[in-house]
A = this chain, B = another copy of it.
Amino acid sequence: MTPADSSKPQESRGREAATRARKESVLKAALECFVEKGIEHTTIHQIQARANCSIGSLYHHFGSKEGIAEELFLEGVQQQNAALLREIRSAGNAEEGVHAVVGAYCDWSTGNRQLASYLHSRDIDFSGQARSRLREIHQLYIREVFIWFAPFVERGEMRALPLETYVPLISGPIQEYIRRWLSGHHPGSPEEVKALFAEAAWSAVKA
């Protein structure tokens, strides 16, 4: 490959930057392929072609096809979590907090459709390492959310429920709606029903 390749925008601006750019171009190419054709039906060669890089380069950076799928997933989850946390923290009370969770999930998903679709994939064959990393990321996120909501439960503004029921009660409906919407199963836009789902969520957990 010639050095003047398009995937190296910041020519010789340090190797790290170039590496990061390359990795991102691969992740971008992979995301497009995965969403279009599914992970299994995407070949390494297709990713390679779209990202303008060689097999060697691909394996050097990611180790395997699953490595790409994993990194993409973890990055996506973190991005989504960050977006949700930001919104939650700007809420002033429990009800606003619940609305923030539902609303932010909805907004992020409509604003990042490809990544959102990808995050709905199950069956990504995570390595043990990636699996535990994912758990860790999830725990960290959940912990933050619960710390934010805990005071309202203590003050009796929210119901005290088994911990593992809050996420399904609050996020379950919007998640299911968005999943169906993303896969083109039905018409109607999330924007129109956002409030409805937020209210349902709130009434499920309010005291």
Neighbouring B residues of A169 by C-beta, 8 Å: 173, 196-197, 200
A9 interface residue (CB < 8 Å to B): no
The range of chain A's interface size is: 35 or more
Do most interface residues of chain A lie in helix, strand or loop, or is the interface mixed? Answer: helix
A112 CB to nearest chain B CB (Å): 18
Known: A38-B123, A120-B122, A122-B120. A164 touches B176 (CB 8 A): no
A142 CB to nearest chain B CB (Å): 10
A168 interface residue (CB < 8 Å to B): yes
A204 interface residue (CB < 8 Å to B): yes
Q: Which residue of B38, B40, B188 contacts A162 across the interface (Cβ within 8 Å)?
A: B188
**Chain A residues at the B interface, C-beta cutoff of 8 Å:** 38-41, 120-123, 125, 161-165, 167-169, 171-177, 180-181, 185-188, 192-193, 196-197, 200, 203-204
